């Protein structure tokens, strides 16, 4: 009898232990950070965020490489991620449900965390291709980014404003940044359009391997497109062999989350992001352009209450 009681006590203790373990596992906050291709800017910044978020109590951050903006927005809206990078025009189209941009319905579960740094539309051609202007792309081989990515959306928008379409090109490739560069090195492509922060690794690699021309996007073209595109400049010396400033367009990047995510968790993610900008800048120089000011909260989608709480603490409303 005593042996039976002992066995019952052991079984009860084991069941209790399993129960406590389940509660402990449940209390962990998974933070899946959705980024982009590994040779872009989103990914190294996401890796830096993973390290920063590791200090959030009970958090289990991880980084996922994706096709970037459009995929990220669809994943977040469907609950398969906690925080993601996206381009501003992709966020606008997702919030409005623009089918032409890849959104079959309004993604109404999206919530903005912050506007961060600008993406520069960077069209880079091999010097031997003879491409110097947007018009020169006619009949040439161009990579426009991964299918239905934010970069590919930028490509269609810029070409349309210049009076061009994909049909006018000799060949269109839908490839991530690094793969586009490899094809250019092998003379299988004439140019690549990459929407990213300045000094993106893929274009640095290309410029260090072959002679390049950074193609101008004239201010008149940018103004024709309008918001959220803004006329800007790729400074001379950004890439090997680029001896002069080159006019182009920029589109602001955002961090987004979903409406049902815990307010305290989003507050902690926002706070730790802005209070560790030095670590982000060490991961990629594009983060040096991130500032905490009134423009940080301007977004096509509503702010998440957790992010809003942090900005109010900082006097930004």
Number of domains in the chain: 2
On whether both 182 and 261 belong to a single domain, the answer is no
pLDDT in the model for residue 100: 84
On whether both 144 and 220 belong to a single domain, the answer is yes
Name the DSSP letter for residue 267.
Answer: H
pLDDT in the model for residue 27: 65
Q: Is it the case that residue 13 has pLDDT exceeding 60? A: no
Does any domain span residue 215?
Answer: yes
Closest CA to 87 of 230, 269, 275, 261: 230
Residues 6 or more apart whose Cβ sits within 8 Å of residue 271: 310
Q: Is it the case that residue 21 has pLDDT exceeding 70? A: no
Record the pTM: 0.83
Q: Is 63 helix (H, G, I), strand (E, B) or coil?
A: strand
Name the DSSP letter for residue 184.
Answer: H
Backbone angles phi, psi at 16, to 5 degrees: -65, -40
Q: What is the CATH number of the domain that holds 264?
A: 3.40.190.10
pLDDT in the model for residue 15: 47
Say how far apart CA 63 and CA 76 lie, in whole Å.
14
Q: Is it the case that residue 23 has pLDDT exceeding 60? A: no
On whether both 184 and 83 belong to a single domain, the answer is no
Q: Is it the case that residue 271 has pLDDT exceeding 60? A: yes
């Amino acid at each position: 009898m005593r042996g039976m009681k002992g066995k019952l006590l052991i079984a009860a203790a084991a069941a209790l232990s399993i129960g406590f373990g389940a509660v402990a596992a449940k209390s962990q906050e998974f933070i899946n950070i959705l980024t982009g291709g590994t040779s872009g800017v989103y990914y190294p910044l996401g890796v830096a965020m993973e390290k920063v978020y590791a200090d959030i109590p009970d958090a289990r951050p991880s980084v996922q490489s994706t096709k970037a903006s459009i995929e990220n927005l669809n994943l977040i809206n469907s609950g398969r991620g906690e925080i993601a990078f996206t381009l501003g025009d992709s966020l606008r189209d997702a919030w409005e449900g623009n089918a032409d941009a890849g959104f079959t319905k309004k993604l109404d579960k999206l919530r903005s965390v912050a506007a961060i740094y600008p993406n520069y539309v960077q069209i880079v051609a091999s010097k031997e291709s003879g491409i110097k202007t947007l018009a020169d792309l006619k009949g040439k081989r161009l990579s426009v980014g991964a299918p239905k990515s934010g970069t590919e959306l930028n490509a269609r928008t810029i070409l349309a404003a210049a009076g061009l379409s994909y049909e006018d090109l000799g060949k269109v490739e839908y490839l991530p940044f690094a793969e586009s560069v490899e094809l250019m090195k092998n003379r299988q492509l004439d140019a690549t359009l990459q929407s990213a922060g300045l000094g993106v690794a893929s274009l640095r690699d290309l410029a260090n391997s072959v002679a390049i021309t950074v193609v101008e996007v004239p201010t008149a073209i940018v103004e024709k497109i309008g918001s959220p595109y803004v006329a800007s400049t790729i400074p001379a010396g950004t890439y090997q062999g680029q001896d002069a400033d080159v006019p182009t367009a920029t589109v602001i990047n955002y961090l987004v989350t979903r409406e049902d995510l815990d307010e305290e968790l989003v507050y902690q993610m926002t706070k730790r992001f802005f209070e560790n900008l030095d670590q982000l800048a060490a991961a990629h120089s594009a983060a040096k352009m991130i500032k905490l000011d009134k423009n940080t909260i301007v977004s096509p989608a509503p702010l998440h209450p957790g992010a809003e709480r942090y900005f109010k603490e900082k006097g930004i409303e």
